[in-house]
Structure 1
Protein backbone atom coordinates (compact mmCIF):
# COMPACT_ATOMS: atom_id res chain seq x y z
CA UNK A 1 0.00 0.00 0.00
CA UNK A 2 1.36 3.42 -1.01
CA UNK A 3 0.58 6.51 1.05
CA UNK A 4 1.29 10.11 0.08
CA UNK A 5 1.82 12.64 2.87
CA UNK A 6 1.32 16.30 1.93
CA UNK A 7 2.41 18.31 4.98
CA UNK A 8 4.54 21.47 5.20
CA UNK A 9 5.75 20.79 8.76
CA UNK A 10 8.75 18.71 7.73
CA UNK A 11 9.33 17.21 11.16
CA UNK A 12 5.74 15.99 11.35
CA UNK A 13 5.72 14.80 7.74
CA UNK A 14 8.94 12.84 8.18
CA UNK A 15 7.81 11.33 11.48
CA UNK A 16 4.53 10.23 9.86
CA UNK A 17 6.48 8.70 7.00
CA UNK A 18 8.73 6.84 9.44
CA UNK A 19 5.76 5.58 11.47
CA UNK A 20 3.81 4.39 8.44
CA UNK A 21 6.88 2.73 6.95
CA UNK A 22 7.42 0.85 10.21
CA UNK A 23 3.85 -0.51 9.84
CA UNK A 24 4.56 -1.88 6.38
CA UNK A 25 3.27 0.97 4.23
CA UNK A 26 5.26 2.49 1.39
CA UNK A 27 5.19 6.22 2.15
CA UNK A 28 6.31 9.41 0.45
CA UNK A 29 6.25 12.96 1.83
CA UNK A 30 6.07 16.29 0.02
CA UNK A 31 6.00 19.68 1.67
CA UNK A 32 3.80 22.03 -0.38
CA UNK A 33 0.43 21.92 -2.06
CA UNK A 34 1.68 22.35 -5.61
CA UNK A 35 4.10 19.42 -5.40
CA UNK A 36 1.55 17.38 -3.48
CA UNK A 37 -1.06 17.83 -6.19
CA UNK A 38 1.44 16.85 -8.88
CA UNK A 39 2.28 13.64 -7.00
CA UNK A 40 -1.38 12.88 -6.26
CA UNK A 41 -2.30 13.22 -9.94
CA UNK A 42 -0.03 10.29 -10.77
CA UNK A 43 -2.83 8.07 -9.50
CA UNK A 44 -0.49 5.56 -7.84
CA UNK A 45 -1.40 6.07 -4.18
CA UNK A 46 -3.82 4.07 -2.05
CA UNK A 47 -4.34 6.93 0.43
CA UNK A 48 -3.40 10.60 0.80
CA UNK A 49 -2.79 12.38 4.11
CA UNK A 50 -3.37 16.05 3.37
CA UNK A 51 -2.77 19.17 5.45
CA UNK A 52 -4.91 22.26 4.79
CA UNK A 53 -2.54 25.17 5.39
CA UNK A 54 0.08 24.55 2.72
CA UNK A 55 2.38 26.78 0.65
CA UNK A 56 1.34 27.54 -2.96
CA UNK A 57 -1.96 25.59 -2.91
CA UNK A 58 -4.05 24.85 0.16
CA UNK A 59 -5.47 21.45 0.97
CA UNK A 60 -9.00 22.39 -0.08
CA UNK A 61 -7.78 23.27 -3.58
CA UNK A 62 -5.67 20.12 -3.83
CA UNK A 63 -8.57 17.87 -2.79
CA UNK A 64 -10.95 19.53 -5.25
CA UNK A 65 -8.51 19.15 -8.13
CA UNK A 66 -7.90 15.49 -7.30
CA UNK A 67 -11.64 14.81 -7.41
CA UNK A 68 -12.05 16.77 -10.66
CA UNK A 69 -9.66 14.27 -12.24
CA UNK A 70 -11.93 11.45 -10.98
CA UNK A 71 -9.18 10.01 -8.80
CA UNK A 72 -11.02 8.14 -6.06
CA UNK A 73 -8.12 7.68 -3.63
CA UNK A 74 -9.19 8.15 0.03
CA UNK A 75 -8.11 11.54 1.43
CA UNK A 76 -7.45 12.00 5.14
CA UNK A 77 -7.25 15.68 6.06
CA UNK A 78 -4.88 16.22 8.96
CA UNK A 79 -4.96 19.77 10.28
CA UNK A 80 -4.94 22.10 13.26
CA UNK A 81 -8.15 23.78 12.09
CA UNK A 82 -10.91 22.30 14.24
CA UNK A 83 -13.96 24.51 13.64
CA UNK A 84 -17.07 22.76 12.31
CA UNK A 85 -17.05 25.06 9.28
CA UNK A 86 -13.50 23.94 8.44
CA UNK A 87 -14.48 20.29 8.70
CA UNK A 88 -17.54 20.77 6.50
CA UNK A 89 -15.46 22.62 3.91
CA UNK A 90 -12.84 19.84 3.97
CA UNK A 91 -15.41 17.11 3.42
CA UNK A 92 -17.14 19.14 0.72
CA UNK A 93 -13.78 19.53 -1.03
CA UNK A 94 -13.49 15.77 -1.37
CA UNK A 95 -11.90 14.54 1.85
CA UNK A 96 -13.11 11.24 3.30
CA UNK A 97 -12.16 11.93 6.91
CA UNK A 98 -10.94 14.85 8.99
CA UNK A 99 -8.45 14.35 11.82
CA UNK A 100 -7.49 17.29 14.03
CA UNK A 101 -3.99 18.03 15.35
CA UNK A 102 -2.71 17.17 17.87
CA UNK A 103 -3.59 13.51 17.37
CA UNK A 104 -2.66 10.18 18.86
CA UNK A 105 -0.64 7.96 16.51
CA UNK A 106 -2.96 5.05 17.33
CA UNK A 107 -5.95 7.09 16.17
CA UNK A 108 -4.17 8.01 12.95
CA UNK A 109 -3.27 4.40 12.19
CA UNK A 110 -6.79 3.21 12.97
CA UNK A 111 -8.19 5.86 10.61
CA UNK A 112 -5.73 4.95 7.86
CA UNK A 113 -6.65 1.27 8.15
CA UNK A 114 -10.37 2.05 8.20
CA UNK A 115 -10.13 4.17 5.03
CA UNK A 116 -8.11 1.49 3.26
CA UNK A 117 -10.62 -1.19 4.26
CA UNK A 118 -13.44 1.00 2.98
CA UNK A 119 -11.64 1.22 -0.36
CA UNK A 120 -11.93 -2.56 -0.59
CA UNK A 121 -11.42 -4.10 -4.00
CA UNK A 122 -12.42 -1.03 -5.95
CA UNK A 123 -10.69 -1.05 -9.34
CA UNK A 124 -7.90 1.49 -9.45
CA UNK A 125 -7.79 2.79 -12.99
CA UNK A 126 -7.41 5.80 -15.23
CA UNK A 127 -9.78 6.37 -18.14
CA UNK A 128 -9.45 8.49 -21.27
CA UNK A 129 -11.81 8.13 -24.19
CA UNK A 130 -12.78 4.46 -24.51
CA UNK A 131 -9.51 3.28 -23.00
CA UNK A 132 -8.77 2.12 -19.45
CA UNK A 133 -5.39 1.79 -17.74
CA UNK A 134 -5.49 -0.62 -14.80
CA UNK A 135 -3.06 0.69 -12.19
CA UNK A 136 -2.68 -2.69 -10.53
CA UNK A 137 -2.24 -5.05 -13.48
CA UNK A 138 -0.56 -2.51 -15.83
CA UNK A 139 -3.01 -3.50 -18.58
CA UNK A 140 -4.33 -1.13 -21.21
CA UNK A 141 -7.85 -2.09 -22.25
CA UNK A 142 -10.52 -1.09 -24.74
CA UNK A 143 -13.82 -3.00 -24.79
CA UNK A 144 -12.82 -6.70 -24.80
CA UNK A 145 -9.29 -6.06 -26.00
CA UNK A 146 -6.35 -5.58 -23.67
CA UNK A 147 -2.57 -5.49 -23.78
CA UNK A 148 0.06 -5.68 -21.05
CA UNK A 149 2.54 -2.84 -20.68
CA UNK A 150 6.14 -3.05 -19.60
CA UNK A 151 7.11 -1.12 -16.46
CA UNK A 152 8.31 1.94 -18.39
CA UNK A 153 5.47 1.82 -20.91
CA UNK A 154 3.09 1.80 -17.96
CA UNK A 155 4.75 4.79 -16.30
CA UNK A 156 4.72 6.84 -19.51
CA UNK A 157 1.09 5.93 -20.28
CA UNK A 158 -0.03 6.71 -16.75
CA UNK A 159 1.53 10.18 -16.86
CA UNK A 160 -0.02 10.85 -20.27
CA UNK A 161 -3.47 9.79 -19.08
CA UNK A 162 -3.19 11.92 -15.95
CA UNK A 163 -2.17 14.93 -18.05
CA UNK A 164 -4.87 14.20 -20.64
CA UNK A 165 -5.11 17.11 -23.08
CA UNK A 166 -2.53 19.09 -21.14
CA UNK A 167 1.01 18.93 -22.44
CA UNK A 168 3.69 17.00 -20.61
CA UNK A 169 7.26 17.68 -21.71
CA UNK A 170 9.86 15.10 -22.68
CA UNK A 171 12.04 16.43 -19.86
CA UNK A 172 9.28 15.81 -17.34
CA UNK A 173 8.72 12.29 -18.63
CA UNK A 174 12.45 11.57 -18.47
CA UNK A 175 12.67 12.78 -14.88
CA UNK A 176 9.58 10.98 -13.62
CA UNK A 177 10.04 7.69 -15.47
CA UNK A 178 13.79 7.27 -15.73
CA UNK A 179 14.85 9.40 -12.73
CA UNK A 180 17.10 12.42 -12.20
CA UNK A 181 20.30 10.37 -12.22
CA UNK A 182 19.54 8.37 -15.35
CA UNK A 183 21.64 8.55 -18.52
CA UNK A 184 18.48 8.27 -20.61
CA UNK A 185 17.94 10.92 -23.29
CA UNK A 186 14.87 12.32 -25.04
CA UNK A 187 15.11 9.63 -27.71
CA UNK A 188 14.18 7.07 -25.05
CA UNK A 189 10.87 8.89 -24.53
CA UNK A 190 10.22 8.94 -28.28
CA UNK A 191 10.85 5.19 -28.52
CA UNK A 192 8.41 4.37 -25.73
CA UNK A 193 5.78 6.71 -27.12
CA UNK A 194 6.14 4.75 -30.36
CA UNK A 195 5.59 1.48 -28.50
CA UNK A 196 2.47 2.89 -26.85
CA UNK A 197 1.03 4.18 -30.12
CA UNK A 198 1.26 0.68 -31.58
CA UNK A 199 -0.36 -0.88 -28.52
CA UNK A 200 -3.19 1.66 -28.49
CA UNK A 201 -3.85 0.89 -32.13
CA UNK A 202 -3.76 -2.86 -31.50
CA UNK A 203 -6.65 -2.72 -29.01
CA UNK A 204 -8.81 -0.37 -31.07
CA UNK A 205 -8.38 2.64 -28.79
CA UNK A 206 -9.93 5.94 -29.85
CA UNK A 207 -7.12 7.93 -28.26
CA UNK A 208 -3.80 8.87 -29.78
CA UNK A 209 -0.64 10.55 -28.53
CA UNK A 210 0.00 13.94 -30.10
CA UNK A 211 3.50 15.44 -30.21
CA UNK A 212 3.88 19.23 -30.22
CA UNK A 213 7.30 20.70 -30.84
CA UNK A 214 8.87 22.27 -27.74
CA UNK A 215 5.79 21.46 -25.62
CA UNK A 216 5.91 17.66 -25.48
CA UNK A 217 2.98 15.27 -25.67
CA UNK A 218 -0.73 15.19 -24.94
CA UNK A 219 -3.66 12.85 -25.58
CA UNK A 220 -6.42 13.41 -28.11
CA UNK A 221 -9.65 11.47 -28.53
CA UNK A 222 -11.00 10.70 -32.03
CA UNK A 223 -14.39 12.11 -32.80
Structure 2
Protein backbone atom coordinates (compact mmCIF):
# COMPACT_ATOMS: atom_id res chain seq x y z
CA UNK A 1 0.00 0.00 0.00
CA UNK A 2 1.37 3.40 -1.00
CA UNK A 3 0.43 6.46 1.06
CA UNK A 4 1.29 10.09 0.33
CA UNK A 5 1.51 12.52 3.26
CA UNK A 6 1.14 16.18 2.21
CA UNK A 7 1.97 18.35 5.22
CA UNK A 8 4.05 21.53 5.49
CA UNK A 9 5.10 20.88 9.10
CA UNK A 10 8.07 18.69 8.21
CA UNK A 11 8.46 17.19 11.68
CA UNK A 12 4.81 16.13 11.76
CA UNK A 13 4.89 14.86 8.18
CA UNK A 14 7.97 12.75 8.86
CA UNK A 15 6.55 11.46 12.16
CA UNK A 16 3.32 10.35 10.47
CA UNK A 17 5.32 8.76 7.66
CA UNK A 18 7.50 6.80 10.10
CA UNK A 19 4.44 5.64 12.05
CA UNK A 20 2.83 4.33 8.88
CA UNK A 21 6.05 2.69 7.68
CA UNK A 22 6.26 0.86 11.01
CA UNK A 23 2.85 -0.63 10.15
CA UNK A 24 4.06 -1.91 6.79
CA UNK A 25 2.94 0.88 4.48
CA UNK A 26 5.12 2.45 1.79
CA UNK A 27 5.03 6.18 2.46
CA UNK A 28 6.25 9.33 0.72
CA UNK A 29 5.95 12.92 1.96
CA UNK A 30 5.53 16.27 0.24
CA UNK A 31 5.94 19.51 2.17
CA UNK A 32 3.79 21.98 0.23
CA UNK A 33 0.52 21.83 -1.66
CA UNK A 34 2.00 22.33 -5.12
CA UNK A 35 4.45 19.43 -4.79
CA UNK A 36 1.77 17.33 -3.12
CA UNK A 37 -0.68 17.85 -5.97
CA UNK A 38 2.00 16.91 -8.52
CA UNK A 39 2.75 13.68 -6.67
CA UNK A 40 -0.91 12.87 -6.08
CA UNK A 41 -1.85 13.34 -9.73
CA UNK A 42 0.53 10.55 -10.71
CA UNK A 43 -2.30 8.26 -9.62
CA UNK A 44 -0.08 5.71 -7.89
CA UNK A 45 -1.17 6.13 -4.27
CA UNK A 46 -3.74 4.15 -2.32
CA UNK A 47 -4.38 6.98 0.19
CA UNK A 48 -3.62 10.70 0.58
CA UNK A 49 -3.15 12.27 4.02
CA UNK A 50 -3.56 15.97 3.43
CA UNK A 51 -3.09 19.08 5.58
CA UNK A 52 -5.30 22.11 4.90
CA UNK A 53 -3.11 25.14 5.67
CA UNK A 54 -0.08 24.90 3.36
CA UNK A 55 2.01 27.22 1.18
CA UNK A 56 1.51 27.44 -2.61
CA UNK A 57 -1.74 25.43 -2.61
CA UNK A 58 -3.97 24.78 0.39
CA UNK A 59 -5.41 21.35 1.06
CA UNK A 60 -8.84 22.23 -0.31
CA UNK A 61 -7.28 23.20 -3.66
CA UNK A 62 -5.17 20.04 -3.75
CA UNK A 63 -8.24 17.87 -3.09
CA UNK A 64 -10.19 19.64 -5.81
CA UNK A 65 -7.35 19.16 -8.32
CA UNK A 66 -7.11 15.45 -7.50
CA UNK A 67 -10.85 14.99 -7.93
CA UNK A 68 -10.81 17.03 -11.15
CA UNK A 69 -8.43 14.38 -12.53
CA UNK A 70 -11.12 11.81 -11.68
CA UNK A 71 -8.83 10.06 -9.24
CA UNK A 72 -10.80 8.10 -6.67
CA UNK A 73 -7.98 7.77 -4.13
CA UNK A 74 -9.25 8.21 -0.54
CA UNK A 75 -8.29 11.54 1.07
CA UNK A 76 -7.84 11.93 4.83
CA UNK A 77 -7.55 15.60 5.85
CA UNK A 78 -5.48 16.52 8.91
CA UNK A 79 -5.93 20.04 10.20
CA UNK A 80 -6.08 22.24 13.27
CA UNK A 81 -9.18 23.92 11.82
CA UNK A 82 -12.07 22.19 13.54
CA UNK A 83 -14.98 24.53 12.79
CA UNK A 84 -18.00 22.90 11.18
CA UNK A 85 -17.65 25.15 8.12
CA UNK A 86 -14.07 23.95 7.60
CA UNK A 87 -15.07 20.30 7.86
CA UNK A 88 -17.86 20.85 5.35
CA UNK A 89 -15.46 22.67 3.01
CA UNK A 90 -13.02 19.76 3.20
CA UNK A 91 -15.67 17.18 2.43
CA UNK A 92 -17.07 19.30 -0.39
CA UNK A 93 -13.56 19.58 -1.88
CA UNK A 94 -13.36 15.79 -2.08
CA UNK A 95 -12.02 14.59 1.26
CA UNK A 96 -13.37 11.32 2.64
CA UNK A 97 -12.65 12.02 6.31
CA UNK A 98 -11.58 14.99 8.41
CA UNK A 99 -9.29 14.45 11.43
CA UNK A 100 -8.45 17.45 13.62
CA UNK A 101 -5.09 18.13 15.27
CA UNK A 102 -3.92 17.15 17.79
CA UNK A 103 -4.92 13.56 17.15
CA UNK A 104 -4.17 10.23 18.78
CA UNK A 105 -2.02 7.97 16.61
CA UNK A 106 -4.44 5.12 17.26
CA UNK A 107 -7.26 7.18 15.78
CA UNK A 108 -5.11 8.06 12.77
CA UNK A 109 -4.31 4.40 12.12
CA UNK A 110 -7.97 3.44 12.55
CA UNK A 111 -8.97 6.09 9.98
CA UNK A 112 -6.28 4.93 7.53
CA UNK A 113 -7.35 1.31 7.78
CA UNK A 114 -11.05 2.17 7.52
CA UNK A 115 -10.54 4.27 4.39
CA UNK A 116 -8.45 1.58 2.73
CA UNK A 117 -11.06 -1.07 3.53
CA UNK A 118 -13.86 1.16 2.26
CA UNK A 119 -11.97 1.78 -0.95
CA UNK A 120 -11.41 -1.93 -1.46
CA UNK A 121 -7.73 -1.09 -1.67
CA UNK A 122 -6.56 -4.63 -1.06
CA UNK A 123 -5.86 -4.95 -4.77
CA UNK A 124 -3.67 -7.89 -5.77
CA UNK A 125 -3.47 -7.26 -9.50
CA UNK A 126 -3.86 -4.61 -12.17
CA UNK A 127 -5.32 -5.52 -15.55
CA UNK A 128 -5.41 -3.98 -19.01
CA UNK A 129 -6.39 -5.70 -22.21
CA UNK A 130 -5.69 -9.43 -21.90
CA UNK A 131 -2.84 -8.94 -19.42
CA UNK A 132 -2.57 -8.69 -15.63
CA UNK A 133 0.23 -7.54 -13.35
CA UNK A 134 0.37 -9.64 -10.19
CA UNK A 135 1.42 -7.14 -7.51
CA UNK A 136 2.55 -9.74 -5.02
CA UNK A 137 4.93 -11.58 -7.35
CA UNK A 138 5.81 -8.75 -9.79
CA UNK A 139 4.73 -11.00 -12.65
CA UNK A 140 2.99 -10.12 -15.92
CA UNK A 141 0.42 -12.77 -16.83
CA UNK A 142 -1.34 -13.31 -20.16
CA UNK A 143 -3.37 -16.51 -20.37
CA UNK A 144 -1.02 -19.40 -19.65
CA UNK A 145 2.09 -17.30 -20.22
CA UNK A 146 3.88 -15.21 -17.61
CA UNK A 147 7.13 -13.29 -17.14
CA UNK A 148 8.77 -11.92 -14.00
CA UNK A 149 9.70 -8.22 -13.83
CA UNK A 150 12.69 -6.62 -12.17
CA UNK A 151 12.00 -4.07 -9.44
CA UNK A 152 12.37 -1.10 -11.83
CA UNK A 153 10.33 -2.80 -14.57
CA UNK A 154 7.60 -3.50 -12.02
CA UNK A 155 7.46 0.11 -10.83
CA UNK A 156 7.28 1.48 -14.39
CA UNK A 157 4.67 -1.08 -15.47
CA UNK A 158 2.52 -0.39 -12.43
CA UNK A 159 2.56 3.33 -13.19
CA UNK A 160 1.57 2.70 -16.79
CA UNK A 161 -1.26 0.37 -15.83
CA UNK A 162 -2.61 2.80 -13.25
CA UNK A 163 -2.49 5.61 -15.82
CA UNK A 164 -4.03 3.40 -18.52
CA UNK A 165 -4.90 5.46 -21.59
CA UNK A 166 -3.81 8.68 -19.85
CA UNK A 167 -0.41 10.01 -20.91
CA UNK A 168 2.37 9.66 -18.36
CA UNK A 169 5.37 11.91 -18.92
CA UNK A 170 8.97 10.76 -18.72
CA UNK A 171 9.49 13.33 -15.97
CA UNK A 172 6.69 11.81 -13.90
CA UNK A 173 8.09 8.30 -14.35
CA UNK A 174 11.59 9.46 -13.40
CA UNK A 175 10.31 11.23 -10.30
CA UNK A 176 8.18 8.31 -9.12
CA UNK A 177 10.49 5.40 -9.94
CA UNK A 178 13.98 6.88 -9.55
CA UNK A 179 13.20 9.85 -7.27
CA UNK A 180 13.78 13.56 -7.63
CA UNK A 181 17.30 13.32 -6.18
CA UNK A 182 18.43 10.61 -8.58
CA UNK A 183 21.00 11.11 -11.33
CA UNK A 184 18.81 9.10 -13.70
CA UNK A 185 17.91 10.76 -17.00
CA UNK A 186 15.11 10.31 -19.53
CA UNK A 187 17.13 7.68 -21.37
CA UNK A 188 16.70 5.38 -18.36
CA UNK A 189 12.93 5.54 -18.87
CA UNK A 190 13.30 4.76 -22.58
CA UNK A 191 15.47 1.73 -21.80
CA UNK A 192 12.94 0.28 -19.36
CA UNK A 193 10.05 0.96 -21.71
CA UNK A 194 12.00 -1.10 -24.27
CA UNK A 195 12.45 -3.93 -21.76
CA UNK A 196 8.72 -3.93 -20.98
CA UNK A 197 7.72 -3.95 -24.65
CA UNK A 198 9.84 -7.06 -25.20
CA UNK A 199 8.39 -8.82 -22.16
CA UNK A 200 4.82 -7.98 -23.15
CA UNK A 201 5.47 -9.35 -26.61
CA UNK A 202 7.06 -12.52 -25.21
CA UNK A 203 3.84 -13.53 -23.43
CA UNK A 204 1.49 -12.62 -26.29
CA UNK A 205 0.05 -9.56 -24.59
CA UNK A 206 -2.21 -7.29 -26.61
CA UNK A 207 -0.99 -4.25 -24.64
CA UNK A 208 0.99 -1.66 -26.59
CA UNK A 209 3.04 1.01 -24.87
CA UNK A 210 2.52 4.00 -27.13
CA UNK A 211 4.94 6.93 -27.29
CA UNK A 212 3.49 10.41 -27.72
CA UNK A 213 6.11 13.00 -28.53
CA UNK A 214 6.59 15.53 -25.70
CA UNK A 215 3.76 13.93 -23.70
CA UNK A 216 5.25 10.59 -22.70
CA UNK A 217 3.60 7.16 -22.80
CA UNK A 218 0.21 5.54 -22.48
CA UNK A 219 -1.27 2.09 -22.97
CA UNK A 220 -3.45 0.90 -25.82
CA UNK A 221 -4.97 -2.46 -26.66
CA UNK A 222 -3.95 -3.84 -30.03
CA UNK A 223 -6.88 -5.00 -32.16
CA UNK A 224 -4.76 -7.50 -34.09
* TM-score of the two chains, using structure 2 as the length reference: 0.72
Contact 1:44/1:135 (<8 A) preserved: no
Post-superposition offset of 1:99: 0.4
Distance 1:44 1:157 in 2: 11
Q: Which residue of 1 aligns with 2:156?
A: 156
After superposition, the Cα gap between the structure-2 partners of 1:53 and 1:218, relative to the gap in structure 1 and judged at 3 Å, is: same
Contact 2:46/2:121 (<8 A) preserved: no
Post-superposition offset of 1:6: 0.7
After superposition, the Cα gap between the structure-2 partners of 1:213 and 1:96, relative to the gap in structure 1 and judged at 3 Å, is: closer
After superposition, the Cα gap between the structure-2 partners of 1:88 and 1:150, relative to the gap in structure 1 and judged at 3 Å, is: same
Post-superposition offset of 1:131: 4.9
Summarize the alignment of residues 46-125 of structure 1 with structure 2, pairs less than 5 Å apart. Answer: 46-66=46-66, 73-116=73-116, 118=118, 122-123=122-123
Contact 1:123/1:134 (<8 A) preserved: no
After superposition, the Cα gap between the structure-2 partners of 1:23 and 1:126, relative to the gap in structure 1 and judged at 3 Å, is: closer
After superposition, the Cα gap between the structure-2 partners of 1:121 and 1:103, relative to the gap in structure 1 and judged at 3 Å, is: closer
Post-superposition offset of 1:5: 1.1
After superposition, the Cα gap between the structure-2 partners of 1:82 and 1:154, relative to the gap in structure 1 and judged at 3 Å, is: same
Distance 2:159 2:121 in 1: 23
After superposition, the Cα gap between the structure-2 partners of 1:108 and 1:14, relative to the gap in structure 1 and judged at 3 Å, is: same
Distance 1:128 1:222 in 2: 11
Distance 1:130 1:203 in 2: 10
Distance 1:87 1:43 in 2: 25
Secondary structure, in 3 states, of the residue corresponding to 1:211? strand
Contact 1:160/1:168 (<8 A) preserved: no
Contact 1:41/1:162 (<8 A) preserved: no
Contact 2:161/2:219 (<8 A) preserved: yes
Does the alignment pair 1:165 with 2:166?
yes
Distance 2:175 2:181 in 1: 8
Distance 1:198 1:65 in 2: 36
Structure 2 residue runs without a partner (length 5+): none
Larger mean CA deviation between 65-74 and 191-200 belongs to 65-74
Structure 1 residue runs without a partner (length 5+): none
Distance 2:55 2:129 in 1: 34
Cα deviation digits, residues 170-217 of structure 1 (max 9, x gap): x55445434566665554433321221233334554442223455543
Post-superposition offset of 1:61: 4.2
Q: How many residues in Structure 1 have an aligned counterpart in Structure 2?
A: 222
Contact 1:178/1:184 (<8 A) preserved: yes
Contact 1:30/1:36 (<8 A) preserved: yes
Distance 1:205 1:64 in 2: 36
